[in-house]
Chains A and B, each alone.
Chain A
Amino acid sequence: MKVRIPSPLYGYTAKRAVVEADGATLEAVTRSLDRSFPGLRFRVVDEQDRIRPHIKFFVNGVQAAALSARVGPADEVAIVQAFSGG
């Protein structure tokens, strides 16, 4: 599936805004991303496997409540990081 990457993570994806990943849940997708782009997952998911504050995951434009959300190969996942703060 296609995964849209927020610009603060471009350092992991060689500036690619859209990358490929696989998995049946968002949890699996983040692990797939981490295999392709080591270190990326920990920047958006903490050591307790929680989505970090101010990070959102969208599946086909709908915000996912948790990493347990199911996804399919035709879905589009977007990771969004807020730019709030000074």
Chain B
Amino acid sequence: MRKKSGRAGVAVLVGTRKGAFILRADAARRRWRIEGPHFLGCIVHHLVLDPRDGRTLLAACRTGHLGPTVYRSTNMGRTWTEAKRPPAFRKAAEGGKGRAVDHVFWLTPGHAAQKGVWYAGTSPQGLVRSDDSGATWTGVGGFNDSPDLTKWVGGAQDLTPDGGKTHSVLVDPRDPAHLYLGLSAGGFFESLDSGASWRRLNKGCDRVFPSADPDEGHDPHCVRLHPAAPDRLYMQNHCGIYRIDRPSDAWSRVGRRMPKAVGDIGFPMTLHPRDPDTAWVFPMDGGSVWPRVSPDGRPAAYRTRDGGRSWQRQDRGLPREQAWFTVKRQAMCADDADPVGVYFGTTSGEVWASSDEGAGWRCLAAHLPHIYSVETGRV
């Protein structure tokens, strides 16, 4: 995120099943106003502001049954321009059966030194890159065309209900060639050569199914790299909450310290921008049939301040009972203020915020469509 200016305001960027919304506040974050909808009726999987310039906003959109695309704005959504060449896979050779991008699921601005570079994760699993701030996109061949791709992503029975996804595309702030990405399903991957080649990084994670191959059966839901300590990554996985400290290649399940009645299953995770030991998760009911709702109908964030050795429940201001929403993997984030603001969007269309690092919550917006993503930016 761009270095905080003294009085810069905060924007919360909300992607939903029926369009996008932007909530804005001044630096004090007391009064919020909502703008939108943008792209009414379109699925907006991700809406992200470029922290390198503070003005380029990209939206990953899909309209009904039309093909996927990406829109770009440089005036906080007053006007939008569609990508001239949207994310797509390589055309198959004559007679071949090539893949087609169904939707763009994830957007990541590139390294600070590579202005204009963005990465997009697709469904089905793929990685595309733009070198011109989202105007044109090209597949990352080292991933999309790898002979190992089928082995990495599995077959039709391994896909999530609306298609396998690439998410958590992460760029090492020390090295633009050092990339990570997550596949649901498929596991977590690392590249040291700008995406030309990839290796799996799943050791220590529990698995969804007991394949004889220890590299199979992995399903990371959301992975975050700490911006101030890039060797530390946290993962909310299908099977629990994990942490890794590179150069180790083994994850440790820090979610075992979560209360047993709540468990450590969920989708989103977000980090404190300055303290590598502080992170938040939003657990869901991962029991029996996986209802994907707040455990016991009592939603809460859980925060660790010691790298996952202990977790504290944070539910002041949230509904006390009969609240059956959950929070999707892109729908929880933190700003860079002090104290840190934490935000999440729910499957029932509410945006919740805390301006005191999760100690108390208030609802910023309700009755929005099903929320897919929440991001912050300085404006």
- Look across to chain B and name the residue whose beta carbon is closest to the beta carbon of A49: B91
* Residues of B40-94 contacting chain A, CB below 8 A: 63-67, 69, 82-84, 86, 88-92
CB contact between B91 and one of A47, A54, A84 (< 8 Å): that residue: A47
Main DSSP-derived SS at the A contact region: loop
Query: Are A42 and B65 in contact, with the CB atoms below 8 A?
Result: no
For the A-B complex with A42-B88, A46-B67, A52-B67 known, give 15 more contacts whose Cβ atoms are closer than 8 Å. Answer: A8-B63, A9-B66, A39-B83, A42-B67, A42-B86, A46-B88, A47-B88, A47-B89, A47-B90, A47-B98, A47-B101, A55-B65, A82-B65, A84-B65, A85-B65
* Residues of A32-86 contacting chain B, CB below 8 A: 38-39, 42-50, 52-55, 81-85
Query: Are A43 and B63 in contact, with the CB atoms below 8 A?
Result: yes
CB contact between A46 and one of B69, B90, B100 (< 8 Å): that residue: B100
Number of A-B contacts (CB under 8 A): 59
Query: Are B84 and A39 in contact, with the CB atoms below 8 A?
Result: yes
Residues A48 and B64 in contact in the complex (CB < 8 Å), given A42-B88, A43-B69: no
Q: Separation in Å of the A8 CB from the closest CB of chain B?
A: 5
Q: How far is the CA of A48 from the CA of B86 in the complex (A)?
A: 14
Q: Which residues of A contact B101 (CB under 8 A)?
A: 46-47
Q: How far is the CA of A84 from the CA of B98 in the complex (A)?
A: 26
Query: Are A43 and B84 in contact, with the CB atoms below 8 A?
Result: no
Q: Which residues of B contact A82 (CB under 8 A)?
A: 64-65
Q: Which residues of A contact B99 (CB under 8 A)?
A: 48
Can you list 20 pairs linking A and B with CB atoms under 8 Å apart? A38-B84, A39-B82, A39-B84, A39-B86, A42-B69, A42-B88, A43-B63, A43-B67, A44-B67, A45-B67, A47-B89, A47-B98, A47-B100, A49-B91, A52-B65, A52-B100, A81-B64, A82-B64, A84-B65, A85-B64
Q: Which B residues fall within an 8 A CB radius of A?
A: 63-67, 69, 82-84, 86, 88-92, 97-101
Query: Are A8 and B64 in contact, with the CB atoms below 8 A?
Result: yes
Q: Which residues of B contact A43 (CB under 8 A)?
A: 63, 66-67, 69
Q: How far is the CA of A30 from the CA of B64 in the complex (A)?
A: 19
Query: Are A48 and B84 in contact, with the CB atoms below 8 A?
Result: no
Q: Separation in Å of the B100 CB from the closest CB of chain A?
A: 4
Q: Separation in Å of the A35 CB from the closest CB of chain B?
A: 13
Q: How far is the CA of A85 from the CA of B64 in the complex (A)?
A: 8
Query: Are A53 and B82 in contact, with the CB atoms below 8 A?
Result: no
- Look across to chain B and name the residue whose beta carbon is closest to the beta carbon of A7: B64
Query: Are A8 and B66 in contact, with the CB atoms below 8 A?
Result: yes
Q: Which residues of A contact B92 (CB under 8 A)?
A: 48
Q: Which residues of B contact A48 (CB under 8 A)?
A: 89, 91-92, 97-100
- Look across to chain A and name the residue whose beta carbon is closest to the beta carbon of B87: A47
Q: Separation in Å of the A24 CB from the closest CB of chain B?
A: 20
Residues A54 and B65 in contact in the complex (CB < 8 Å), given A47-B88, A48-B92, A48-B100: yes
Query: Are B66 and A52 in contact, with the CB atoms below 8 A?
Result: yes
Query: Are A81 and B98 in contact, with the CB atoms below 8 A?
Result: no
Q: Separation in Å of the A63 CB from the closest CB of chain B?
A: 16
Query: Are B67 and A81 in contact, with the CB atoms below 8 A?
Result: no
